[in-house]
Structure 1
Amino acid sequence: MKVELLKTFLEVSHTLHFRVAAENLFITQSAVSARIKLLEEDLGVLLFDRSKKHLKLTPEGNRLIKHANELLLMWQKAKQDVGIAEGDNHQLAIGSIMSIWDIVLQGWLTKIHLNIEGMSLLTSTLSPVELRKSLLSRVIDVAFLFEPPYVEDLVITKVATVPLYLVSTESNRAKQKSTLANYIMVDYGESINSQYRRSFQDSPPAKHSMNQPRIALNFLLDVGGCAYLPRQMAFEHIESNRLFIVEDAPVFSREIYAVYLEKGHKVDIIEQTLQLFPYLKT
Structure 2
Amino acid sequence: MRTELLMTFLEVSRTLHFRVAAENLFVTQAAVSARIKLLEEDLGVLLFDRANKRLKLTAEGHKLVKHANEILTMWQKVKQDVGVGDASSTQLFVGAMMSIWDMVLHDWLQKIHRNLDDVNLFTQTYSPLELRKQVQNRMVDIAFLFEPPFIDDIEAKKVATIPLKLVSTQAADSIEELENWVMVDYGESINNQVLKDFGDALNTRHHMNQPRIAMNFILEAGGAAYLPNQMCFTELRKQKLYLVPEAPTYYRDVYAIFLEKNHKKQIIEDALQLFPFIRG
State the TM-score, normalized to the length of structure 2.
0.76
- Whichever residue aligns with residue 146 of structure 2, its letter is F
Which range is displaced more, 189-198 or 271-280?
A: 271-280
Correspondence for 2:259: 261
1:140 aligns with 2:140: yes
**CA displacement, residues 42-65 of structure 1 (integer Å, 9 cap, x when unaligned):** xxxxxxxxxxxxx987xxxx7x98
Shift of 1:220: 1.3
1:98-127, Cα deviation, whole Å (9 max, x unpaired)? 000011100000000001111100000001
Identify the residue that residue 23 of structure 2 maps to in structure 1.
Answer: none
CA distance in 2, matches of 1:206, 1:27: 36
CA contact (8 A) 1:156 1:257 kept: yes
Partner of 1:83: 84
- Residue in 2 that maps onto 1:177: 175
CA–CA separation in structure 1 for the residues paired with 2:68 and 2:230: 36
How far is 1:140 from its partner?
0.5
Q: Please state if 1:150 is matched with 2:150.
A: yes
State the shift of 1:76 in Å: 3.1
Residues 262-277 of structure 1 aligned to structure 2 (within 5 Å): 262-277=260-275
Q: Which letter does structure 1 place at the counterpart of 2:236?
A: I
1:43-122 alignment to 2 at 5 Å? 69-79=69-79, 82-86=83-87, 88-122=88-122
CA RMSD of aligned residues (A): 2.9
Distance 2:164 2:180 in 1: 18
Question: Does structure 1 conserve the Cα–Cα contact (< 8 Å) formed by 2:69 and 2:124?
Answer: no
Distance in 2 (CA, whole Å) between partners of 1:209 and 1:134 is 27
In structure 2, what is the Cα distance between the partners aligned to 1:56 and 1:276? 37
| Structure-2 residue corresponding to 1:130 | 130
1:56/1:218 CA distance change after superposition, 3 Å: closer
2:236 to 238, 245, 248: 238
Q: Is the 8 A contact 1:77 1:122 kept in 2?
A: no
Deviation string 1:200-253 (CA, Å, 9 cap, x unpaired) is 101243111111111111111111100000111111111111111011111000
Q: Larger C-alpha radius of gyration, 1 or 2?
A: 1
Q: Quick one: which amino acid aligns to residue 144 of structure 2?
A: F
Alpha-carbon shift at residue 279 of structure 1 (Å): 2.4
Match for residue 163 of structure 1? 163
Residue 92 of structure 1 contacts residue 141 of structure 1 at CA under 8 Å; is this kept in 2? yes
C-alpha displacement of 1:83: 3.1
Distance 1:66 1:116 in 2: 28
Structure 1, unpaired ranges of 5+: 15-20, 37-54
Task: Between 196-205 and 237-246, report the one with greater CA deviation.
Answer: 196-205
Alpha-carbon distance, 1:197 to partner: 0.5
Cα 1:32–1:161 change in 2 (3 A) is closer
Partner of 1:17: none
Instruction: Tell me: CA distance 1:109–1:263, structure 2 relative to 1, closer, same or farther (3 Å).
Output: same
Paired residue for 2:185, among 165, 184, 187? Answer: 187
The one of 34, 38, 45 aligned to 1:26: 38
CA-to-aligned-CA distance 1:13-69 (integer Å, 9 cap, x gap): x9xxxxxx997242684x545xx9xxxxxxxxxxxxxxxxxx987xxxx7x985675
Q: CA deviation at 1:277?
A: 1.3
Q: Per-residue CA shift, 1:171-218, capped at 9, x if unaligned?
A: 1x1x31122111111111111101100011012431111111111111
Question: For 1:233, what is the secondary structure of its paired residue?
Answer: coil
Contact 1:166 1:229 in 2 (8 A): yes
The 1:127–1:206 alpha-carbon spacing in structure 2 relative to 1, beyond 3 Å, is same
AA of the residue aligned to 2:178: L
Deviation, 1:278, is 2.7
Give, in angstroms, the shift of residue 78 of structure 1. 2.7
Aligned residue in 2 for 1:199: 197
Provide the C-alpha distance between the structure 2 equivalents of 1:236 and 1:80, rounded to a whole number of angstroms: 41
